[in-house]
Amino acid sequence: MLTIVRIHNELLGTYGDRGNADVLAFRAHLNGIAAEVVDISYLEILPKSADIYLMGGAEDAAQALSLTALEKGGALASAISQGATLLAICAGFQIVGESFTDGQGQEISGLGLLNVRTSPGEKRFVGDIKVKASFLDCEFTGFENHGGRTLLGEGVQPFGHVLVGHGNGAESVDGAISGNVFGTYLHGPVLARNPEFADFLLAKTTGQSTINYVDELAVEYAHWRRSVTK
Amino acid sequence: MPNRGLKRAVLIALLSAWASKTFAKKSGETISGRVLLFLRPGAISELSQGRRVLLVSGTNGKTSTTRFLVRIIEQLGAVTTSPSGSNLSWGVAGSLLKRASFAVLEVDELHLANVITQTQPEVVLLLNLTRDQLHRMHEVKRVADRWREIAERSPNTTFVVDIDDPFVNYATQNAAKVLRISFGGRSHPDGAVCPNCGGYIKWSSGLYECSCGLSNKSYEKLLVAANAPERNSILANIAGSLIGAPWLEVSPSELERTINIKSGGVTATIRLTKNPASWTEALTGINSHQVILILNAREVDGIDTSWLYDVDFQILQGRKVVVTGERALDMQYRLHVQGIESIAVENFTTAITQFSSGEHVQVLSAYTAFFELSR
C-alpha cells in the first residue's frame, strides 16, 4: 500500500495544491497500485513511515505555523533519509529550504531539506508558468502566485528551466531538487497539469520502472495547457 | 450641484451612457462611471455629499444582498444603486449619477477602502471573506488588513458584520461602531489561522475562540439562518433598520442569483458560482439528475483554476454532467480525478442539446458566462 501524506492542508491549502494527493492516488489506482491519502493536520503527529509527502502553498502566517509543527521531532527529515519522496509547492518549497522571510520581514530558518534560500522580491509573480523539467524530457505547466526570490545553493539542481513566467525569480529557473526532495512554485495543481510528473513520482516511489496506463483525458488536458501557455 | 466643473462632468458622463445605450446597445453604466472619474477624479466624494450612503461588500452574495437592501431602503425614499453588479470605482461613480437621497452600493473588496473614504457611508455591511480571484487578491489576510485599516479610520460609520467569518470579525475589531452578528457559527475554508495573532484556531461546530480573544462568541446579536441567502437577508434588514427602515420579509430563493432559460423544451436554471465557497454552497443545492457546469477563467472569474480541487464534487456522482466554457477541460479532468465522468462540449447551446425535451437542468456557471447568458 502506497501511503501519501498530505501535510497540514488546512494551512498549506490556499492554492488548490491538495489536488496533488488526489491525482497521485487516482493515477496509482489506474496503474493497479493500491494507494491511500492520509491528511495530517497541524495538531497531529507526522508519521515517519509514509511513502510520499506533499506540501502546498499558503499565506504567510499559515506558512510560519506549519514550520513550527514540522520542526518538532524531525519526522519529515527522518522519512526522507529512509527513502520517502517529498513534493513541496510554493510556501511549502520555501519551508523546506534553508531560510525564508516571514510576513513581518524576519528571516527564519527552514527545515533545511533543500539548500535554497528565499527572500521577498519587489514584484509578486502571478500568472501562467511553463518550465522545461530538469529530470524528464517534458515541459510542465502551472500557475504561479508568490513574491519570493529563491536562490539555489550547492548540491541542488533546478526543478525546471523557465520558458514562460518567472519561477524562482533568479537564474531563469524554477524550484529545486535534491535526491527525493522536489520543490517548485507550480500550482495547477502541478500533478493534475502534468501527469508525467505524477507517474515519475509513482515509479520512483514504488520502484516500478514503467507506468503503463494511458489516461487519455489526462494527456489531452496536459497537451492543451502546454499549447496555450506561451 | 453648486460646482460647474462637476455639473459639466456629470452631463458628459450621462451623454456617454446615452450614446452607449443607443448606438452600442450596452447598459451604459460602466462607461458613464469611467467618463465621470476621468473628467472629475473626485466625483464619488462630491456626489456622495448630502446623501445617506450604505455599502455592501464581501466575497459572496454582494449583488443579491445589495439588491435586497435597495428594496428595504426604498421604503424610506428614492434609492440609487448599480443593478448590474458593477462594483469597482467606476460602477460606484456611475450609480451616483442618479439623484436620490439614498445610495445603496455594492463594492468590490479591494475597492472598499477607497469608496468608504470617498462616500463616508452611514452603514457598511460586511458579509464574508474567503479565497477568491487569488491572482488579484493574493491572500485573504491581505484583503482583511485593508478592511481593518479603513474600519479603524471610519469613526462615523457603523459596520454591520457577520463575525462567524473570522476575517470579517478581525477587520472590524477596532472599529468605533460595530454591530457584531453571529448565526451560531459555520466553517470557513481559510479559517485555520487566526488573522489577528497568527495562531492556530481550534474550531468546534462552527465556533472559534482564539487565545488572543478573536471569537464569534463575542456577538451583539445571535440569530438563526438556514443558509447564506437567508443569512444575507437578515443582515440586510439589520443594516436597513439602523437607518429606520421597517423589516422586510423575503423568500431566500429571491436572494439566489439565478436566471431561467428555456431551449428546445429543456428548462435550465442557471446559478452564478465563482470560488470554492460559492461552488460548495451551490453544489449543496443540486437535486436534478441533469447538470451543466460552465467554467471560464477570465479576470473576474479568477485566472487560476487550481481551486477546483478545493471543491468536493461528490454530489454529482451518478448524475448526467455536461461541462462547457473556456476551461471546460480543467473541470472535466478535475471531476475525472474524483471518479465523475462528464461530457465536454463547445458551448452552452450545445450543452443544452445533450438533454431531452421536458428535462430540467441545473446549471452552475462562472461569472463571465453567467453575464453572457443573462443578456
Does a structural domain hold residue B16? no
- In A43-178, which ranges are continuous DSSP H helix? 60-71, 75-81, 91-95
Residues B168 and B301 in one domain: no
In chain B, what residues touch A43 (CB-CB under 8 Å)? 200, 202
Same domain, B231 and B365: no
Q: Give A99-155 pLDDT, tens digit per residue.
A: 999 878 899 999 999 999 999 999 999 999 999 999 999 999 999 999 999 999 999
Would you tell me which residues 183-202 of chain B have a C-beta closer than 8 angstroms to some C-beta of chain A?
A: 190, 192-195, 198-200, 202
Residues in A closer than 8 angstroms to B341, CB to CB, are: none
Of B31, B72, B79, the closest CA to residue B51 belongs to B79
pLDDT at B252: 66
**Tell me: the pLDDT tens digits for A34-81?**
999 999 999 999 999 999 999 999 999 999 999 999 999 899 999 999
Q: How many Cβ pairs within 8 Å bridge chains A and B?
A: 92
C-alpha span between B297 and B310 (Å, rounded): 16
What average pLDDT does the segment A204-224 reach? 89
B310 close contact with A: CB closer than 8 A: yes
Element (H, E) at B350: helix B348-353
Whether residue B36 lies inside any domain: the answer is no
Distance CA A38, CA B45 (A): 54
Whether residue B6 is contained in a domain is answered as: no
Outline where DSSP puts E strands in chain A.
2-7, 35-40, 52-55, 85-89, 99-101, 107-109, 116-133, 139-152, 160-164, 173-174, 176-178, 181-184
Mark which of B222, B237, B252 sits at the end of a domain: B252
Give the rounded percent of residues in chain A with a pLDDT score beyond 90: 93
Overall number of domains in chain B:
2
Of A103, A189, A220, the CB nearest to B309: A189
Could you say which of B141, B192, B334 has the minimum Cβ distance to residue A11?
Answer: B192
Quote the CA–CA distance of B219 and A55 in Å, as a whole number.
36
Is position B297 within any domain?
yes
Q: Of B252, B281, B306, which marks where a domain is finished?
A: B252
B129 & B176 share domain:
yes
- The pLDDT value given to residue B39: 85
B309 vs A187: CB contact, 8 Å cut-off? no
From the list B110, B107, B63, B104, the residue with the least C-alpha distance to B87 is: B107
How confident is the prediction along chain B (375 residues), in pLDDT tens digits per residue? Answer: 457 888 888 888 888 888 888 877 776 667 888 888 888 888 888 888 989 999 999 999 998 999 999 999 999 999 999 766 677 787 888 888 888 999 999 999 999 999 999 999 999 999 999 988 888 888 899 999 999 999 999 999 999 999 999 999 999 999 999 999 999 999 998 999 999 999 999 899 999 999 999 999 999 999 999 888 899 999 999 999 999 999 999 876 777 778 999 998 999 999 999 899 899 989 999 999 999 999 999 998 999 999 999 999 999 999 999 999 999 999 999 999 999 999 999 999 999 999 999 999 999 999 999 989 987
B337/A22 touch (CB, cutoff 8 Å), yes or no: yes
The CATH number assigned to the domain holding A185 equals 3.40.50.880
**At CA A157, angle to CA A156 and CA A163, rounded to 5?**
145
Say whether A187 and B306 touch across the interface (CB within 8 A).
yes
The partner residue sitting opposite A10, judged by closest CB among B192, B304, B308, is B192
Active site residues of A: 90, 187
- The Cα of B198 is separated from the nearest Cα of chain A by a number of Å equal to 5
* Residue A222: alpha-carbon gap to chain centroid: 18
Q: What's the gap in Å between the CA of A98 and the closest CA on chain B?
A: 22
Residue A44 belongs to domain spanning: 2-228
Residues B89 and B159 in one domain: yes
- Of B212, B231, B252, which one is at a domain's C-terminal end? B252
**Residue A165 confidence class, pLDDT cut points 50, 70, 90:** very high
- What's the number of domains chain A is made of? 1
Looking at residue B85, what is its pLDDT?
Answer: 65
- Write out the residue range of the structural domain in which residue B265 sits: 257-374
ipTM of this predicted complex? 0.97
Taking an 8 Å cut-off on Cβ atoms, the answer to whether B338 and A22 are in contact is yes
Tell me which amino acid residue A52 is: I
- CB contacts under 8 A, B 281-300 vs A, are none
Q: Which chain B residues are closer than 8 Å to A16 by Cβ?
A: 304, 306-310
Terminal-residue alpha carbon distance, chain B: 35
Q: What is the pLDDT of residue B320?
A: 98
